[in-house]
Amino acid sequence: MKKYDLFTIIKPNLDNEEADKVVARVDEIVTSLGGNVDECDKMGRKKLAYEVAGFMDGFMVNQVISLPEDKVSELKRQLRLNDSVIRIMFTKKECA
Protein backbone atom coordinates (compact mmCIF):
# COMPACT_ATOMS: atom_id res chain seq x y z
CA MET A 1 0.00 0.00 0.00
CA LYS A 2 1.13 3.51 -0.79
CA LYS A 3 0.62 6.63 1.31
CA TYR A 4 -1.28 9.60 -0.04
CA ASP A 5 -2.28 13.09 1.10
CA LEU A 6 -5.95 13.83 0.56
CA PHE A 7 -6.95 17.48 0.94
CA THR A 8 -10.71 18.04 0.83
CA ILE A 9 -12.82 21.20 0.82
CA ILE A 10 -16.39 20.65 2.03
CA LYS A 11 -19.32 23.00 1.36
CA PRO A 12 -19.50 25.80 3.95
CA ASN A 13 -23.31 25.78 4.14
CA LEU A 14 -23.15 22.60 6.26
CA ASP A 15 -22.91 22.83 10.05
CA ASN A 16 -19.97 21.27 11.93
CA GLU A 17 -21.86 18.04 12.63
CA GLU A 18 -22.75 17.53 8.97
CA ALA A 19 -19.16 18.29 7.92
CA ASP A 20 -17.94 15.65 10.39
CA LYS A 21 -20.37 13.17 8.79
CA VAL A 22 -18.84 13.90 5.37
CA VAL A 23 -15.35 13.24 6.80
CA ALA A 24 -16.62 10.00 8.38
CA ARG A 25 -18.08 8.99 4.99
CA VAL A 26 -14.69 9.57 3.33
CA ASP A 27 -13.11 7.37 6.04
CA GLU A 28 -15.69 4.65 5.29
CA ILE A 29 -14.94 4.81 1.56
CA VAL A 30 -11.19 4.47 2.16
CA THR A 31 -11.76 1.51 4.50
CA SER A 32 -14.14 -0.20 2.07
CA LEU A 33 -11.47 0.03 -0.64
CA GLY A 34 -8.97 -1.83 1.56
CA GLY A 35 -7.11 1.20 2.87
CA ASN A 36 -6.97 3.10 6.13
CA VAL A 37 -6.76 6.68 7.36
CA ASP A 38 -3.47 7.25 9.17
CA GLU A 39 -3.98 10.92 10.10
CA CYS A 40 -6.89 13.34 9.94
CA ASP A 41 -6.49 17.09 10.43
CA LYS A 42 -9.80 18.98 10.45
CA MET A 43 -8.71 22.57 9.88
CA GLY A 44 -12.20 24.01 10.18
CA ARG A 45 -13.87 26.66 8.07
CA LYS A 46 -11.44 28.83 6.10
CA LYS A 47 -11.73 31.59 3.53
CA LEU A 48 -10.70 30.58 0.00
CA ALA A 49 -8.38 32.66 -2.18
CA TYR A 50 -10.89 32.52 -5.02
CA GLU A 51 -14.41 31.27 -5.64
CA VAL A 52 -14.78 27.49 -5.92
CA ALA A 53 -18.14 26.08 -7.04
CA GLY A 54 -19.82 29.34 -6.03
CA PHE A 55 -18.36 29.42 -2.51
CA MET A 56 -15.78 31.78 -1.00
CA ASP A 57 -15.06 29.60 2.04
CA GLY A 58 -15.25 25.94 3.05
CA PHE A 59 -14.44 23.32 5.67
CA MET A 60 -10.91 22.06 5.03
CA VAL A 61 -9.69 18.59 5.92
CA ASN A 62 -6.27 17.06 5.31
CA GLN A 63 -5.92 13.29 5.62
CA VAL A 64 -2.97 10.95 5.22
CA ILE A 65 -4.26 7.64 3.89
CA SER A 66 -2.80 4.28 2.94
CA LEU A 67 -4.45 2.76 -0.11
CA PRO A 68 -3.66 0.12 -2.74
CA GLU A 69 -2.59 1.79 -6.00
CA ASP A 70 -5.33 0.12 -8.04
CA LYS A 71 -8.05 1.67 -5.81
CA VAL A 72 -6.99 5.32 -6.24
CA SER A 73 -9.19 5.99 -9.26
CA GLU A 74 -12.23 4.51 -7.50
CA LEU A 75 -11.64 6.71 -4.45
CA LYS A 76 -11.41 9.81 -6.66
CA ARG A 77 -14.61 8.77 -8.44
CA GLN A 78 -16.47 8.30 -5.14
CA LEU A 79 -15.32 11.72 -3.92
CA ARG A 80 -16.47 13.40 -7.15
CA LEU A 81 -19.92 11.85 -6.66
CA ASN A 82 -20.26 13.33 -3.16
CA ASP A 83 -22.23 16.60 -3.50
CA SER A 84 -20.86 17.98 -0.23
CA VAL A 85 -17.26 17.91 -1.48
CA ILE A 86 -16.45 20.91 -3.66
CA ARG A 87 -12.73 20.30 -4.28
CA ILE A 88 -10.11 17.61 -3.65
CA MET A 89 -6.37 17.50 -4.03
CA PHE A 90 -4.91 14.01 -4.04
CA THR A 91 -1.11 13.58 -3.99
CA LYS A 92 1.28 10.70 -3.46
CA LYS A 93 3.20 11.10 -0.20
CA GLU A 94 6.92 10.74 -0.58
CA CYS A 95 8.38 8.55 2.16
CA ALA A 96 12.00 9.18 3.09
Q: Kindly list the domain boundaries of the chain, sorted by start residue.
A: 2-55+68-86
Question: In this model, does residue 96 exceed pLDDT 60?
Answer: no
Distance CA 26, CA 85 (A): 10
pLDDT in tens, 28-66: 999 999 999 999 999 999 999 999 989 999 999 999 999
Q: What is the DSSP letter of 93?
A: P
pTM score, two decimals?
0.88
The CATH superfamily of 2-55+68-86 is Ribosomal protein S6/Translation elongation factor EF1B (3.30.70.60)
Residue 51 to residues 42, 57, 58, Cα–Cα distance (Å): 21, 8, 10
Q: How far is CA 77 from CA 27, 65, 93, in A?
A: 15, 16, 20
